[in-house]
Amino acid sequence: MSTISKKTSYDQVSVEYLVQGSGTPILFLPSLGRGQADFDELTLLMVQKGFKVIRPHPRGIGASQGPITGITLKDLAADVAAVIKAEGHSQCIIAGHALGNFIARMTATLYPELIQGIALLAGSPGKTPSGDPSIPPDVLVSVSQSGNLALSDAERITHLNKAFFAPGNDCHSWLQGWYPETKKMQWEAWHATPIDSFFKAGNAPVLDLQAELDTVVPRQYTHYLKSELGERVTVTVIPNAGHALIPEQPEAVCEALTNWALSL
């Protein structure tokens, strides 16, 4: 199964992206500081289901380049929109993992005409009914430190198990695959963007694909997005998965994405 590498540019930005398969287009956005390799196995499964999978590299990864300071999630959403337009699709499904869910929701907010639906893969709602932090502060520390390459493997494994992987699931694959400059850029863009500017995700249908044992998205908040957005939101829970989700349960994620996409 061939993977085609393509590139599109606008203003001061160039985005490299990978394309595999044919059929209904679905675009994957990775987690904070991580690259498209996280979707390698899931991509093969989705292509077998009849999807065209589009995977843009975030700025700072591969040949994707652009300003990495003084930006917001609006800039990163513009990168996504540029790729959809370059592929000539009138509409596309976007599946955003973890932080990628915020970029997906911003894209749906700014470019609703391009979006068939968005899937939030282990995605935090971004805020809570009480106004408390949506991500527990101690877990957020482990999210950050999991990709801190200055720490020992043992220390990072502790953080990975706390923030990303369900008990018993092997976290060692995530000792690699971190991009510190991209992570810093995305972290700053996220914190520079008001949650209410993308919370509602435009008017797109939403799949809230939750991980049963996700410590980043505590179970007490898992119905908040649907309670706010109503029948636009379909909630599906993947058992035996943490916030990493994709490497933990790729077959279950593929099945849920496929079933939802066929319903659109």
Please determine, for residue 1, whether its predicted confidence score (pLDDT) is greater than 90.
Answer: no
Residue 10 forms beta bridges with which residues? 13
Please determine, for residue 7, whether its predicted confidence score (pLDDT) is greater than 80.
Answer: yes
CA neighbor of 264 nearest in space, from 54, 113, 91, 30? 91
Q: Are strands 233-238 and 115-121 parallel, antiparallel or unpaired?
A: unpaired
Please report, for the chain, the start and end positions of each structural domain, with discontinuous segments joined by +. 4-263
Percent of the chain clearing pLDDT 90 (strictly above) = 96
Mean pLDDT for 84-110 is 97
Residue of higher predicted confidence among 118 and 219: 118
Burial 24-47 (b: 16+ CB within 10 A, else e): bbbbbbbbbbbbbebbeebbbbbb
DSSP codes of every residue in 206-258: EEEEEETT-SSS-GGGTTHHHHHHGGGEEEEEESS--TT-TTT-HHHHHHHHH
Please determine, for residue 135, whether its predicted confidence score (pLDDT) is greater than 80.
Answer: yes
pLDDT of residue 264: 95
Q: Are strands 115-121 and 92-97 parallel, antiparallel or unpaired?
A: parallel
31-90 residue pLDDT tens? 999 999 999 999 999 999 999 999 999 999 999 999 999 999 999 999 999 999 999 999
Mean pLDDT for 156-162 is 98
Angstrom distance (rounded) from CA 251 to CA 55 = 18
pLDDT of residue 15: 98
CA neighbor of 260 nearest in space, from 243, 239, 238, 227? 238
Which pLDDT band holds residue 235 (cuts at 50, 70, 90)? very high
209-227 residue pLDDT tens? 999 999 999 888 899 999 9
pLDDT of residue 219: 87
Fold of 4-263: Rossmann fold (3.40.50)
Q: Are strands 51-56 and 92-97 parallel, antiparallel or unpaired?
A: unpaired
Q: Are strands 24-29 and 51-56 parallel, antiparallel or unpaired?
A: parallel
Q: Are 233 and 226 in contact (CB under 8 A)?
A: yes
pLDDT of residue 251: 98
Q: Average per-residue pLDDT in the chain? A: 97
237-251 residue pLDDT tens? 999 999 999 999 999
